């Protein structure tokens, strides 16, 4: 790589490979825990200097950002790319600086029995954080949270405020996830001196910034650091195995209680690990698979220590869904019953805010999913916000939880350095999402060049590591039907395959789909004897473009292409095909390219979440599938299922 590209990366080079320490429980309020959200306007500056290092050379973190130059107002959470009018900021590559002054409640700064934690939900891609000019944490990876205990800093002086500075670099290299390369254009007859661009091998815009909530929260100094819950069922009795990690003291009492939705205690225990038994448990069922889907219990954990001032407790409540997941040669089973994924692939993407978290958008998306009759989605192509998974738990939307391993196509990205980082990312992902009943499978990557020789060792190691981290869930990666050899497929539990017949080849020839798709399924099943999910298929449609007989990019073509797929899916789902996920839920932004019309238009909804014709087709199908594949009604129950079809 050209030296200037390394300069653009700056500290990224020396700070990779941070070990995974401690838990990453979602910060919930409780009688012992407070939260302070830092959303709103932050001060912002992109470092446009040629080597992108001015911020470090001039130590912009040492004093308020406004003192080292002009600043912009920047909303958090949001990507910085699309909120301004500056084309150069939209496509900026390098370090950007965020800053926020926070006034803290007096108790937080004076009570030494209080622990104050700064938590950043996501900063894409590499982040360095200072509090009052003191370096507190660094993190690599744009889609998972990280924290710093800042108690000592905020409790050391008379100040009741603190200044948080976050420098974020969006540069992607062959060793980041997702990978990318910096291309230096050195022909001075065509490009100015020092000109470089970011190149990627994935099909979405590399939005950057503080994408998810940034907040401060407190715990007592002896606190519940992590909880791991796994569930099973034995003849109607729900078994909840728990393990709890406490930090801050070795002497404490630990009590756990499991409450049902009426607030009744159904089981209790003491100590750091144990099993709770729930006779006649309400199981967590997916949406449309049961008359009462998504039943959640509450696991109340209380840890108490004795201090000079008397006993002090920390409380944390974790939602728990009791369910099982298994994979056989032909089936995907939830609670022992065959489950058919009928759903979507999504992106975290919207107008103006880019990948920034937004409650209104989240609720709209879930309303659309339920309207559609979708029972599942894949977090293509990176982990989504924790708030998204919480809604999946509550609504019964099943999730294939994917790592940011997308576009791994360069031989360089299969070396030890990349593998090591990928292993760490899987560790962070499992640590964050392991307790969500909605998450039924991990996906380690999307369409990696799994035919390259080093891919065999890479995926064998990665998948074995993921299974060791979480033996309770199957693991997959998503491959492409065009790949002739797949060196990773022997290690996965479920084959997820993407194909774009009559779209990326045989343009306009919808009639070839049945043959090509049937051949795809038969080949994969013959080779691996594992259940298969059609993890992507679809066609671009520009909303409002109509043409009949259908031609590419019309709403009619998108619909007709889906219908061809559905005929084959209906045949093969009697056998070993266990799911279909449309590409994509909504139109989304990509890099500019001649084959992209203001982004990727394969959404069945527009980017503004309005339905195209295909959305109505899919809605009919999904509700019908819900009826065809639903759980047989339990004796003496399930009136709404027994009485016939779900209502569309």
Choice between 450 and 498, CB closer to ligand GCB: 498
CA distances from 83 to 106, 456, 600 (A): 35, 42, 20
Choice between 140 and 349, CB closer to ligand GCB: 349
Choice between 305 and 446, CB closer to ligand GCB: 446
CA gap 341, 573 in Å, rounded:
10
Which phi and psi angles does 430 have, rounded to 5°? -65, -40
The least distance separating ligand GCB from the CB of residue 482, rounded to whole angstroms, comes to: 9
Number of neighbours of residue 152 by Cβ within 10 angstroms: 13
CA distances from 28 to 119, 120, 316, 444 (A): 12, 14, 7, 28
Q: Is the peptide bond before 68 cis (omega within 30 degrees of 0)?
A: no
CA gap 291, 608 in Å, rounded:
32
The least distance separating ligand GCB from the CB of residue 584, rounded to whole angstroms, comes to: 7
The least distance separating ligand GCB from the CB of residue 380, rounded to whole angstroms, comes to: 6
CA gap 7, 178 in Å, rounded:
20
Choice between 585 and 622, CB closer to ligand GCB: 585
Q: Do the Cβ atoms of 323 and 334 come closer than 8 Å?
A: yes
Choice between 33 and 607, CB closer to ligand GCB: 607
> Of 303, 302, 264, 298, which is closest to residue 284 (Cα–Cα)?
298
Closest residue by beta carbon to ligand GCB: 203
Residues that bind ligand GCB (CB under 6 A): 203, 381, 446-447, 498, 536, 583, 600, 602
The least distance separating ligand GCB from the CB of residue 585, rounded to whole angstroms, comes to: 12
User: Which residues on adjacent β-strands are paired with residue 164?
Assistant: 100, 131
Q: Pairing between strand 273-278 and 237-247? A: antiparallel
> Of 151, 169, 166, 163, which is closest to residue 121 (Cα–Cα)?
166
Q: Do the Cβ atoms of 194 and 34 come closer than 8 Å?
A: no
Choice between 187 and 484, CB closer to ligand GCB: 484
CA gap 326, 472 in Å, rounded:
9
The least distance separating ligand GCB from the CB of residue 165, rounded to whole angstroms, comes to: 34
The least distance separating ligand GCB from the CB of residue 406, rounded to whole angstroms, comes to: 7
By CB atoms closer than 10 A (0-12, 13-18, 19+), residue 374 is buried
Catalytic annotation present for 447: yes
Placement of tokens 């009426």 in the chain: 262
> Of 316, 370, 7, 383, which is closest to residue 178 (Cα–Cα)?
383
User: What does the block give as tokens for 217?
Assistant: 């929260």
Choice between 231 and 600, CB closer to ligand GCB: 600
Choice between 250 and 484, CB closer to ligand GCB: 484
- Biggest alpha carbon distance in the chain? 81
The least distance separating ligand GCB from the CB of residue 402, rounded to whole angstroms, comes to: 10
Placement of tokens 């070839």 in the chain: 512
Choice between 222 and 600, CB closer to ligand GCB: 600
3-class SS shares of the chain: helix, strand, coil, % to 5 = 25, 30, 45
The least distance separating ligand GCB from the CB of residue 580, rounded to whole angstroms, comes to: 15
Choice between 435 and 584, CB closer to ligand GCB: 584
CA gap 336, 334 in Å, rounded:
5
The least distance separating ligand GCB from the CB of residue 537, rounded to whole angstroms, comes to: 9
The least distance separating ligand GCB from the CB of residue 568, rounded to whole angstroms, comes to: 18
Going along 77-160, which residue ranges are E strands?
95-103, 114-120, 123-124, 126-131, 134-140, 146-149
The least distance separating ligand GCB from the CB of residue 362, rounded to whole angstroms, comes to: 21
Q: Do the Cβ atoms of 168 and 96 come closer than 8 Å?
A: yes
Q: Which of 348, 447, 556, 580 is catalytic?
A: 447
User: What does the block give as tokens for 78?
Assistant: 């949001």
Q: Do the Cβ atoms of 510 and 501 come closer than 8 Å?
A: no
Choice between 241 and 506, CB closer to ligand GCB: 506
3-state secondary structure of 608: coil
CA gap 434, 389 in Å, rounded:
11
CA gap 326, 339 in Å, rounded:
10
List residues with catalytic annotation: 447
């Amino acid at each position: 790589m050209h030296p200037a590209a390394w300069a653009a990366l700056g500290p990224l080079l020396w700070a990779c490979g941070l070990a995974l320490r401690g838990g990453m429980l979602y910060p919930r309020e409780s009688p012992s825990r407070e939260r302070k959200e830092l959303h709103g306007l932050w001060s912002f500056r992109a470092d446009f200097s040629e080597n992108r290092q001015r911020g470090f050379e001039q130590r912009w973190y040492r004093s308020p950002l406004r003192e080292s130059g002009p600043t912009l107002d920047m909303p958090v959470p949001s990507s910085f790319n699309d909120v301004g009018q500056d084309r150069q900021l939209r496509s900026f590559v390098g370090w950007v600086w965020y800053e926020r002054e926070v006034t803290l409640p007096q108790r937080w700064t004076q009570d030494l029995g209080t622990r104050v934690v700064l938590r950043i939900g996501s900063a894409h891609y590499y982040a360095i954080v200072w509090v009052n000019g003191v370096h507190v944490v660094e993190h690599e990876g744009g889609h998972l949270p990280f924290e710093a205990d800042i108690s000592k800093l905020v409790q050391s002086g008379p100040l009741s405020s603190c200044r948080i500075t976050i420098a974020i670099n969006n540069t992607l290299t062959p060793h980041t996830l997702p990978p990318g390369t910096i291309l230096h254009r050195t022909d001075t007859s065509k490009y100015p001196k020092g000109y470089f661009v970011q190149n990627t091998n994935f099909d979405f815009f590399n939005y950057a910034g503080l994408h998810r909530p940034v907040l401060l929260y407190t715990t007592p100094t002896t606190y519940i650091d992590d909880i791991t819950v796994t569930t099973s069922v034995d003849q109607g009795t729900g078994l909840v195995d728990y393990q709890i990690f406490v930090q801050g003291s070795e002497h404490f009492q630990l009590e756990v209680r499991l409450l049902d939705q009426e607030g009744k205690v159904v089981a209790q225990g003491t100590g750091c690990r144990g099993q709770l038994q729930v006779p006649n448990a309400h199981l967590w069922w997916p949406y449309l698979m049961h008359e009462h889907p998504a039943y959640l219990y509450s696991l109340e954990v209380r840890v108490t220590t004795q201090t000079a001032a008397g006993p002090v407790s920390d409380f944390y409540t974790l939602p728990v869904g009791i369910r099982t997941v298994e994979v056989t040669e032909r089936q995907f089973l939830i609670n022992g019953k065959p489950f058919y994924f009928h759903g979507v692939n999504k992106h975290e993407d919207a107008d103006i805010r880019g990948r920034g978290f937004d409650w209104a958008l989240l609720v709209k998306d879930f309303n659309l999913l339920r309207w559609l009759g979708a029972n599942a989605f894949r977090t293509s192509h990176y982990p989504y916000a924790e708030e998204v998974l919480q809604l999946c738990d509550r609504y019964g939307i099943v999730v294939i939880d994917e790592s940011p391993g997308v576009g791994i196509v360069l031989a360089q990205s299969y070396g030890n350095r990349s593998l090591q980082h990928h292993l760490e990312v899987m560790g962070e992902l499992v640590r964050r999402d392991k307790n969500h009943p909605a998450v039924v499978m991990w996906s380690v990557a999307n369409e990696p060049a799994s035919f390259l020789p080093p891919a065999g060792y890479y995926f064998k190691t990665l998948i074995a590591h993921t299974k060791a981290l979480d033996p309770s869930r199957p693991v997959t990666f998503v491959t492409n039907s065009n790949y002739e050899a797949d060196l990773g497929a022997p290690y996965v539990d479920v084959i997820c395959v993407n194909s774009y017949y009559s779209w990326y080849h045989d343009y306009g020839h919808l009639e070839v789909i049945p043959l090509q798709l049937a051949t795809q399924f038969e080949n994969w099943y013959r080779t691996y004897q594992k259940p298969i999910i059609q993890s992507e298929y679809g066609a671009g449609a520009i909303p409002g473009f109509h043409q009949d007989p259908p031609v590419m990019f019309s709403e009619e073509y998108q619909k007709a292409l889906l219908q061809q797929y559905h005929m084959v899916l209906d045949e093969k789902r009697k056998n070993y095909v266990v799911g279909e996920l449309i590409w994509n839920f909504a139109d989304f932004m990509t890099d500019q390219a001649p084959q992209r019309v203001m982004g990727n238009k394969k959404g069945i909804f527009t980017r503004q979440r309005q339905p195209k014709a295909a959305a109505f087709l899919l809605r009919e199908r999904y509700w019908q599938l819900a009826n065809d594949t639903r759980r047989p009604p339990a004796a003496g129950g399930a009136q709404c299922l027994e009485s016939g079809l779900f209502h569309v």
